[in-house]
Chains A and B, each alone.
Chain A
């Protein structure tokens, strides 16, 4: 029973890890919490829906296209909205991202309505592995998420672009002194963030359902994961998401499942009161 909980927790945690990572990367370079992450998840889910159900393409292909489109969308939103608010505080950017969220989510709702939809995938019976029940969706989610995380890790820690992103997140003026153009790094970060989130939106749609609120429902867990790990820290975001996923699954052993989403809220509130810089963060010094 416990190991099943663990497996379930890791599966959901890995899916949450992608948008949590996206959120933390943007926070690292822009110093604001992107509230539109939820609506972006929804957008990614529906973009794939269009290609999968609308055009009949296989889900895998649709997911990749969706990731690309969502990446482009995020870069565009950054150029049109956030870059037009120079010198704005994190709070102002947060409110602007709420505006973006309203736009995105309701654009999707305008086209597709509120009804719950699903992708065209073949139903497969769950696997049984050592007394554990793992559905095909979970396997796919785990595999894709792990693959993405591995790629991101390589990008961040083994390429010059990744070094530039970490540099800008650590010390923007020193990064500039090294010849790193902040605008390019920010655009790149939004593209990466968009791709991750779009893909995660598809995974969520695969595991659950495709509906306008699906992304919104993930906002709290995604933020909680990023905050738990230390907002701005990529490794922290992933660890935070995994821990949160497992904690949520374990809580459903004792709490009625309807209040499960409250767990993320409690975790987040506790972290913010006790150790706001999270597990992996360091106590911030105002620069």
Chain B
């Protein structure tokens, strides 16, 4: 079981505040790890910190065997990390083709042969000359996903990939995640739709107020009463 991503007691925040504190997690190849928690618990901050967009106040982040704690986002991308933000995850003024080209031309580990990846997203093949801003929400999400995968990353960070999508697209996203993780990619997934996330994840952590409140296998978390209360009771 190779570890593709490890975060050890990381802390991060804006200015002096610590939005995320003492969080540790591990993602192994072929695993899907879900990050759950109520709104405002710091899930997005956590993933941005791991991606390198927010500097670490404490702790370490390792991708594969490489310590990337001091590296910026572009260096982490080079190390094998692919990050799909929740919003603004494509370049709207560029065409689908340009977005895809941009996704691999600066990452040497990406191989030019993208047919495997493009096979996962047939809808994009018909839309190569269309500006990304003109795609539907679901298509844009597909594009963002494709751009992340085309870089042949070791670990994929997904921030709420199904947010605002119609059920059909949600199904496709879920199926694609399962497919890519089966092929050896590690996936760290933030998902508001806890039930769906727990179905495809093998491990999960629950983040509350920036700290890990629960951690365990997906089954354990799904069956945990206190977690269910957190979600069925306090969430909107």
Main secondary structure of the interface of A (DSSP, over half): helix
B73 interface neighbour in A166, A167, A170, A177, Cβ under 8 Å: A177
**Beta-carbon contact of A179 and B91 below 8 Å:** no
User: A270 in the interface, Cβ–Cβ < 8 Å?
Assistant: no
Residues from chain B with a CB closer than 8 A to the CB of A180 are 74, 102, 106
**What is the distance, in angstroms, from A255's C-beta to the closest C-beta of chain B?**
38
Task: Provide the bound-state CA to CA distance between A174 and B78, in Å.
Answer: 14
* Cβ contact within 8 Å between B103 and A178: yes
CA distance A7 to B72 in the complex (A): 50
Interface string of A181-223 (1 = CB under 8 A from B): 1100000000000000000000000000000000000000000
CB of B102 within 8 A of CB of A167, answer yes
In the complex, what residues of A have CB within 8 A of residue B93's CB?
166, 170
A115 at the B interface (CB under 8 A): no
Q: Is A176 an interface residue (CB 8 A)?
A: yes
Tell me if A173 is interfacial: C-beta within 8 Å of chain B: yes
- Inter-subunit contact B52/A176 (CB<8 Å): yes
Check A163/B88 contact, CB under 8 A, given A178-B77, A179-B74.
no
Which of these, A167, A173, A179, contacts B78 with CB under 8 Å?
A179
B89 within 8 A of A: yes
Which chain B residues border A163 with CB–CB below 8 Å? 94, 98, 101-102, 105
Chain A residues with Cβ below 8 Å from B77 are 176-179
A164 adjacent to chain B (CB < 8 Å): yes
Interface residues of chain B, those whose CB is within 8 Å of chain A, are 51-53, 72-75, 77-78, 82-83, 85, 88-94, 98, 101-103, 105-107, 147, 151
- A sample of 6 cross-chain residue pairs with beta-carbon separation below 8 angstroms, ordered by A number, consists of A166-B91, A166-B94, A173-B85, A176-B77, A177-B77, A177-B83
* A positions within 8 Å CB-CB of B: 160, 163-164, 166-167, 170-171, 173-182, 287
